């Protein structure tokens, strides 16, 4: 049973527009949510995180929104650039869990067209 | 090196053979993690080391999998009697235990294991 779900396997966006990647979770016992980006043949790289006590965190072009009542988070990229084309993974950490024991979704492949 | 280094980058073996995968973390990182990523899936947690000891091995799928980190730096993931279902990319990551953003792991490029 997947506790972290990314229901869209792919997303295509025009350069300069907003990209919105979505993630749903089923377990209320997560204290941190994270987004990682992965290029082909590379390991995932950390992008941005949000504590469960917040509802928004912003870092440059990247903003993560958390809606705890809906058990939903989203990553907004504005404006999207061709270099943002990658697979994006949503991940969550349990309360009291070890720091690096993260539960990942299956990923969403973002393609930003020039 | 500056990043997490994993060797080999690719390993092809036959069913039933023994395999070792090596991870060299970022210098100064005390925490080390192994994840496994199967085709079409996200990374799946296997084991976490704090220093030389395994602080959390709850993700190891069965007793064919074992990992060590004898000197608190380099780690080796060992898989005995490999099965075709073990085919995946094995990712290693490291992190500082203090400072930084919670959950921020630094991943290597992975070791792709193929069991024929």
The three state secondary structure string of chain B is CCCCEEECCEEEECCCCCEEEEEECCCCCCEEEEEEECCCCCCEEEEEEECCEEEECCCCCCCCEEEECCCCCCEEEEECCCCHHHCEEEEEEEECCCCCCCCCCEECCCEEEEEC
Closest alpha carbon within chain B to A37: B107
Residue B102 pLDDT: 64
For residue A37 the two structure tokens come to: 């980006």
For residues A56 and A87, what is the distance between their CA atoms, to the nearest angstrom?
22
- Which is more confident, A29 or A71? A71
Rounded to an integer, the average pLDDT of A63-77 is 97
| Count of beta carbons in the 10 Å neighbourhood of residue B81 | 12
pLDDT tens, B12-51? 999 999 999 999 999 989 899 999 999 999 999 999 998 8
Distance from CA of A51 to the nearest CA of B (A): 9
Q: How far is A93 from chain B (nearest CA, A)?
A: 7
Give pLDDT, residue A2. Answer: 79
B28: left (phi over 0), alpha (psi -120 to 50) or beta: left
b/e per residue, A23-43, with b = 16+ CB within 10 A? bbbeeeebebbbbbbbeeeeb
Q: Does B42 touch chain A (CB under 8 A)?
A: yes
- Residue B103 Cα to chain centre, angstroms: 17
Please give the Cα distance from B82 to B105 (Å, whole number).
28
> Contacts of residue B42 in chain A, CB cutoff 8 Å?
4, 6, 89, 91, 104-107
Given a cut of 90, whether residue B113 has pLDDT beyond it is yes
- Is residue A41 over pLDDT 60? yes
> How does residue A101 score in pLDDT terms, banded at 50, 70 and 90?
confident
**Are A65 and A74 a contacting pair, CB within 8 Å?**
yes
CB B60 within 8 A of CB B48: no
């Amino acid at each position: 049973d997947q506790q972290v779900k990314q229901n869209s396997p792919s997303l295509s966006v025009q350069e300069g527009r907003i990209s919105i990647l979505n993630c749903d979770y089923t377990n209320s016992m997560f204290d941190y949510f994270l987004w990682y980006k992965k290029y082909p043949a590379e390991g995932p790289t950390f992008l941005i995180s949000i504590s469960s006590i917040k509802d928004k965190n912003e870092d440059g072009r990247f903003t993560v929104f958390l809606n705890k009542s809906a058990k939903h988070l989203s990553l907004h990229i504005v404006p999207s650039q061709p270099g943002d084309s990658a697979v994006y993974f949503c991940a969550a950490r349990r309360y009291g869990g070890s720091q690096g024991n993260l539960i990942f979704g299956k990923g969403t492949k973002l393609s930003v067209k020039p | 090196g500056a990043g997490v280094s994993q060797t080999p980058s690719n390993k092809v073996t036959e069913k039933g053979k023994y395999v070792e995968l090596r991870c060299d973390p970022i210098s100064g990182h005390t925490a080390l993690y192994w994840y496994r990523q199967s085709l079409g899936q996200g990374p799946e947690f296997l084991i976490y080391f704090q220093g030389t000891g395994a602080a959390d091995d709850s993700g190891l799928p069965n007793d064919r999998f074992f990992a060590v980190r004898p000197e608190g730096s380099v780690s080796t993931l060992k898989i005995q009697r490999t099965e075709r279902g073990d085919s995946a990319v094995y990712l290693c990551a490291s992190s500082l235990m203090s400072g930084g953003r919670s959950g921020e792991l630094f991943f290597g490029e992975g070791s792709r294991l193929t069991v024929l």
